[in-house]
Amino acid sequence: MQKPLKNKKTIAIVGGGRWGQITLSAVANINLPFNYIIVSNVNFDKVESMLETLSPSLSSFNVVRTLDDLLLHPSVTAGIVVNSARQHFDTANKLITNGIHVLIEKPITMSSDELNLLISNAHTNKVTITPGLSYRFCSYIKNFSTKINEVGIPYNFKLEWFDTKNEVRYQQIKTHDTSITIIQDVMPHIWTILSNVFMRLPINPEHVSESSQDYASIIASIGNTRGQIILDRNSTARKRRLSVAFTSRKNLILDFTSEPGIIINGEETSSGDENWKLNDSPVTQQLRYFFNKIEDANSSNEDLEACRCSVKLTEDSSNLSAHGSLKYFQI
């Protein structure tokens, strides 16, 4: 345990699993003058050992087992919710009720009804909700969108998101939350990517041709552009690839299997972002954005739109997987 810094903001990190540990490493590298309290019962010992390896000069770190333990600290200003997906609503709601700003990792909530309750509660308690959708801060996604506008009018797309079993990411074996389907897990990312690439046009899922816990094939339209989204947790190789076809018969591809990816335009290939290594990672940018927001009394319209749209797309895609096709309304 470390001695808390006097007169400094206290930030909670709720969840000590893989993504909680990644978040912990990121905030340590940012090294702001904050006191951090990590909440984790299952991974308490592992987090406590990890804290011994951190040596930022401006931050302090401690770990507790429960939210009730956390709330004994009256100085908690903000909380980063990175526990299991089905705990996000209850955790965030408890923090918000206690006047604590929240950053909620995707999926923000499991339903639009849950999200609306959080938004109402946040408004009442004058705190902000920030969605944990790190692709909002990906420069190569924005660069690819610019390329699309330069090439012409798109009419078709294909987005492939494949993972392998026991893949190592951020120096850890990547494990999936088995309490949710791949649609619930990944579609928030898909909304973030496609909405940024296609200039915030509505994303309309129309049909799920195949779906299971670990696989989904979804037909969707974005304005006048129609395409396919394929999600797979049990692929033979990791893959992140967005292909766009144009009315001019040209094709543009973003392969971001490894960041910052490559953009393929015919026979030309270029980096998704030539300055990628000079800038903060998307996760770090998202954390800095959140820390700047905790001085506000109200969530931004952009953040609330991202929450609503990512949850709605995920919810409707899940309904499609159970009931077939759906005439989707604009979000």
Q: Is residue 270 part of a domain?
A: yes
Q: Is residue 4 part of a domain?
A: no
In total, how many domains does the chain have? 2
Question: Distance between CA atoms of 197 and 227, rounded to whole angstroms?
Answer: 14
- How high is the pLDDT of residue 5? 52
Query: Is 80 in the same domain as 162?
Result: no
Q: Which residues, 6 or more positions from 141, have their beta carbon under 8 angstroms from its beta carbon?
A: 135, 193, 196, 197, 254, 256
Q: Is residue 330 part of a domain?
A: no
Query: Is 168 in the same domain as 295?
Result: no
Query: Is 116 in the same domain as 149?
Result: no
pTM (2 decimals)? 0.93
Question: Distance between CA atoms of 5 and 58, rounded to whole angstroms?
Answer: 9
99 CB neighbour count, 10 Å cutoff: 13
| pLDDT tens series, the chain, 331 aa | 555 555 589 999 999 999 999 999 999 999 999 999 999 999 999 999 999 999 888 999 999 999 999 999 889 999 999 999 999 999 999 999 999 999 999 999 999 999 999 999 999 999 999 999 999 999 999 999 999 999 999 999 999 999 998 777 666 676 778 889 999 999 999 999 999 999 889 999 999 988 999 999 999 999 999 999 999 999 999 999 999 999 999 999 999 999 999 999 999 999 999 999 999 999 999 999 999 999 888 999 999 999 999 999 999 999 998 765 444 333 2
CATH number of the domain bearing residue 20: 3.40.50.720
Q: Is residue 2 part of a domain?
A: no
CA 192, 194, 196, 200 torsion: positive or negative?
Answer: negative
Q: Is residue 267 part of a domain?
A: yes
What is the span of the domain harbouring residue 68? 10-134+284-300
Query: What kind and span of H or E run contains 97?
Result: helix 88-97
Kindly state the greatest CA–CA separation across the chain: 63
Q: Is residue 328 part of a domain?
A: no
CATH number of the domain bearing residue 164: 3.30.360.10
Query: Is 88 in the same domain as 193?
Result: no
Query: Is 44 in the same domain as 144?
Result: no
Query: Is 190 in the same domain as 75?
Result: no
Which two structure tokens, joined as six digits, stand for 61? Answer: 């770190």
